[in-house]
Amino acid sequence: MADYIEAKKSRLKYYQKIPLYYQTKERKLVLYKPAGKTIEEVRLEKEQVPGKLYIKQEDKIKGIKEIQKVFNIRLSEDIRSNNPGKVKETLVNIVQETLAEPRSGSLEGVSETVNILISEYTKDSDVIKNLLIVSKQDYSTVIHSINVMAIVLGYANFIDCSLYEKKILGLSALLHDVGKTKIDTALLTAPRKLTDEEFNEIKQHTIRGYEILSKCNFGYKEIALTALQHHEKLDGSGYPYGITNLEKTAQIVGFIDCYEALTNDDRPYRNAMSPLKTLKLIKQDVESDKFSRNLFETFAYSLL
Ligand SMILES: [Fe+2]
Ligand SMILES: [Fe+2]
C-alpha cells in the first residue's frame, strides 16, 4: 500500500497516460483503468465504480504533468475568452497541483504556463492585470505566488523588456516562495507575532527554495537565485545571508513581493493597505537604501 497514493476525485477525469487502481476487500490493489484510457471510457465498460482510486507512487510526477497539460490548454482558452475569474481559477489549479510535489519534473510544467501568460499578454487585453481584482479569498502561498507573478508581468510589460526577460521574471516570481512548501503550514499561517526561533525557521524557505529549484532544468539560473535572494536587501539588512550584491531579477521580485504582501489582506491581525499608502511605506526602505530608487520610481509609474 505504501507504493500507492489516493487520487484526488476532482483530478480523475484528467488522467489518461497513467493507470488507476482500486482496493479489494482483501486490501489488494487491482488495476481499474489501464494506461491510455480515460476514466469515462472505463466507466462505460465496467459496472462498478470504486469509491476510492489510487495511483502508483512512481506515476505521481507523470500524473502531475498530465494535469498541468490539461490546465495549460484551459488557461489559453480562459485568457482568450477574456475571463479573469476563470484564468485565476485555472492558475490556482495549476500552481496547487505543482506545489503539492515541488521537485524537478513537476516544477518545469509551469514554464509552459508562464509562456502562455506572456504570449497572451497583449497591450489591449488586461486579463492578467484583472487577475488581481478577482476575489482573494483563501489567501495562501498559491494565491500570493500568482499575485506576485501578475504584478511582476505587469511591470515587465511596462518596462518593455524582451520576451526572454519576461519569461525569467514571470517564472522567478511564480516560484519565489516554493521553499514555503517545506515549512510547517501552522507557522506560515499563525495569527500572531512569531518568536525569534519561529521566524528563523520561516527564513529557511529561501534556502530550501534554492535547493529545490537548482535541481530543476529551467535553463535559467535566475529562478533559483531569486528564491534564495528575494528577502535580501541592498543595504545588507535582509536574509538569509545579508548580502548586498543582488541579482536584478531577485531585486524586482523581492520588491514586488513586499508590495503584494502589504496590499493584500493576508493576516488576520492586520488589514490590507492601499497602493498609495504601501508605496509611501516602502519609500522609507528606499530612503535607507534597502531597495533600488530607480526600481521604486519605475514601479510607481507602472501603476498609473
Ligand atoms: Fe518569501
Ligand atoms: Fe513571497
List, for residues 11-20, the tens digit of each pLDDT value. Answer: 999 999 999 9
Q: Containing domain of residue 203, as a range? A: 83-302
Q: Whole-angstrom Cα distance, residue 209 to residue 227?
A: 5
- What pLDDT score was predicted for residue 104? 87
- What pLDDT score was predicted for residue 135? 45
**146 and 43 part of one domain:** no
- What pLDDT score was predicted for residue 127? 60
pTM for this one?
A: 0.87
**36 and 149 part of one domain:** no
Tell me the CA–centroid distance for residue 94 and ligand 1, in Å: 20
- What pLDDT score was predicted for residue 136? 46
Domain tally, the chain: 2
Strand bridging mode 20-23 / 29-33? antiparallel
Supply the CATH number for residue 252's domain.
Answer: 1.10.3210.10
Single out the residue of 77, 30, 65, 255 nearest to residue 159, CA to CA.
Answer: 255
| Cis, peptide link before residue 268, omega less than 30° from 0 | no
What stretches of 8-94 adopt beta strand conformation (E)? Answer: 20-23, 29-33, 54-56
Tell me the CA–centroid distance for residue 218 and ligand 1, in Å: 20
Q: Whole-angstrom Cα distance, residue 286 to residue 281?
A: 9
Contact 202, 183 (CB under 8 A): yes
- What pLDDT score was predicted for residue 1? 64
- How many C-beta atoms surround the C-beta of residue 59 within 10 A? 21
CA-based angle 82:140:157, to the nearest 5? 40
Tell me the CA–centroid distance for residue 65 and ligand 1, in Å: 26
- Could you read off the pLDDT of 165-202 as tens digits, one per residue? 999 999 999 999 999 988 888 888 888 888 999 999 99
**272 and 174 part of one domain:** yes
Q: Which residue has the cell 484510457?
A: 37
Tell me the CA–centroid distance for residue 230 and ligand 2, in Å: 8
Residues with pLDDT less than 70, the chain = 1, 121-139, 265-270
Ligand 2 being an ion, which residues bring their Cβ within 5 A of it? 177, 257
Q: Whole-angstrom Cα distance, residue 242 to residue 165?
A: 26
Positive or negative, the CA dihedral 288, 290, 292, 295 is negative
**151 and 19 part of one domain:** no
